[in-house]
Amino acid sequence: MANIGDLVQSADWKAEKHVPVIEGPDKAAASQAVNLEVSVGKQIAHPNTTEHHIRYIEVYFLPSGEKFPYQLGRFEFNAHGESVQGPNTSSIFSEPKAVVTFKAAKSGTVMALAYCNIHGLWRSEKELKVE
């Protein structure tokens, strides 16, 4: 049986279009609201077609010294050009981009997962120092 951790892929987002990009501050004051933008396809555009698309992005925060991360949000992208006329015939296409705002009392790691319907799960991380 496969371990799910072995199935999650990672790479540099500048060279791989599936990796979620986490943009936001590197530092924050304790309990200050932190805004993060998470997207897929920042450097290299990801296709957004009925056949090949990003289905969702999940964002987590793992405070330093804690065992489990907290889920900050799950963002689903449900419009991929499909319609009753067939694939890629709609004029509506979701873009895989989300904004999440949270407060943290201590430093930790922001983690993002993105799911491509063809290429599976991809992850990235960003450290956040809370002072």
Decide if 59 contacts 128 (C-beta within 8 A): no
Question: Does residue 46 have an active-site annotation?
Answer: yes
Mean pLDDT over each residue of the chain, to the nearest integer:
94
Q: What is the pLDDT of residue 94?
A: 94
Percent of all residues in the chain with a pLDDT value above 70, rounded to a whole number: 100
Residue 13, pLDDT above cutoff 90: no
Q: Given 82, 97, 119, 131, which residue is catalytic?
A: 119
Which is catalytic among the residues 18, 42, 53, 80?
18
Q: Which among 42, 46, 53, 80 is annotated as catalytic?
A: 46
Q: Is the pLDDT of residue 95 over 90?
A: yes
Q: Is the pLDDT of residue 65 over 90?
A: yes
- Please state the φ and ψ torsions of residue 73, each to the nearest 5 degrees: 180, 155
Q: How far apart are CA 92 and CA 7, in angstroms?
A: 31
Q: For residue 31, what pLDDT band results from cuts at 50, 70 and 90?
A: confident
Closest listed residue to residue 63, CA positions, set 13, 131, 128, 125: 128
- What are the distances in angstroms from CA 30 to CA 9, 14, 25, 116, 131? 32, 31, 13, 35, 6
* Non-local CB neighbours of 35 within 8 Å, separated by 6+ positions: 24, 99, 100, 101
Annotation marks residue 16 as catalytic: yes
User: Which position among 42, 53, 82, 116 bears the catalytic label?
Assistant: 116
Answer yes or no: is pLDDT of 6 > 90: no
Q: Which of 14, 27, 37, 52 is catalytic?
A: 52
Ordered domains of the chain (ranges, CATH): 4-130 (2.60.40.730)
The answer to whether 80 is a known catalytic residue is no
When pLDDT is averaged across residues 88-99 and rounded to a whole number, the result is 94
- The single residue listed with the structure tokens 């892929």 is 9
- Band (116; pLDDT cuts 50, 70, 90): very high
